[in-house]
Structure 1
Amino acid sequence: MSANQTDPMIGRLIDGRYRVRSRIARGGMATVYLASDLRLERPVAVKIMHGHLADDENFKERFIQEARSAARLAHPNVVNVYDQGQDDESAYIVMEYLPGITLRELLQEHRVLTPEQATDILEAVLAGLAAAHRSGIVHRDLKPENVLLADDGRIKIGDFGLARAASANTATGAALLGTIAYLSPELVTRGIADTRSDIYALGIMLYEMLTGEQPYKGEQPMQIAYQHANDTVPMPSAVNPRVPAELDELVLWATARDPEQRPRDARAMLEHLYDLQRGDAVPGGTQKTMVLPRAMAPVPPAEAFGAGRNPTGPAGQNGPTGQTGPAGLRGSTGETAILQKARHRTGPVTPALGTNAEALGRKAAARRKRGAVWLVLVVVLALVAGTTAWWFSLGPGSQATVPAITNASVAQATSKLEAQGFGVSDEQVKTYDPVIAAGQVTGTRPEAGATVHKGSAVRLVVSQGPRILSLPKVVGQQEDAAKKALSPFTVGASTTRFDQKAKGTVLGIAGKNASGATVDLQNATTYPERRPVTLTVSLGPVPDVTGQSLSAAQAALTAVGLKSVQSGGEYSDSVANGAVIRQGAEGDGAVVPGSTIDLVVSKGPTPITVPDETGRKVSTAESALAALGLKVSYADCTTAQCATATALGFDWRKLVKVQSQSPAGQGTAFKGDTVTLKYDGSSLSVG
Structure 2
Amino acid sequence: MQQQVLGGRYLLKDKVGTGGMATVYRAQDQVLNRTVAVKIMLPQYAGDATFAARFKQEAQAAAGLSSPYIVGVYDWGKDGDTYYIVMEYLRGTDLKSGIRSHGALDPKKVAQIGSQICAALSVAHKHEIIHRDIKPQNIMVLPDGNIKVMDFGIARAKNSHLTQDNNVLGTAHYVSPEQTRGQELGPTSDIYSLGVVMYECATGQVPFDGDDAISVALKQVNELPVPPSQLNPNLDADLERIILRCMEKDPANRFQTADELRQTLNAYLAGRQVDVPEPTRVIGAVPAGGAGATETRVMSDQTQAMARPAGIGNTAVRSGSGMSSSASGGADPYGGKKKGGKGKIVAGVVAALAIIGVIAFAAFSALNSGAKTVTVPNVLGYTQEEATEELRSLNLGVKTSSGYSDEYEEGEVMSQTPSGGLQVEEGYEVEIQISRGPEPIKTTTVPDLKGRTREEAEKLLEEAGLVGVASEASNDAEEGTVFEQSPAEGEEVEEGSTVTYTVSTGPGTVSIPNVVGDGENSALGALEDAGFSVSREYEYSSRVDAGVVISQSLTGSAMPGTTITITISRGPEPDTSTPDTPATSPDSPTTGEDEEESAGAA
Q: TM-score range by the shorter chain?
A: 0.3 to 0.5
Larger radius of gyration: 1
Higher relative contact order, structure no. (Cα contacts within 8 Å, ≥ 6 residues apart): 2
Question: Could you state the TM-score of these two structures normalised by the residue count of structure 2?
Answer: 0.47
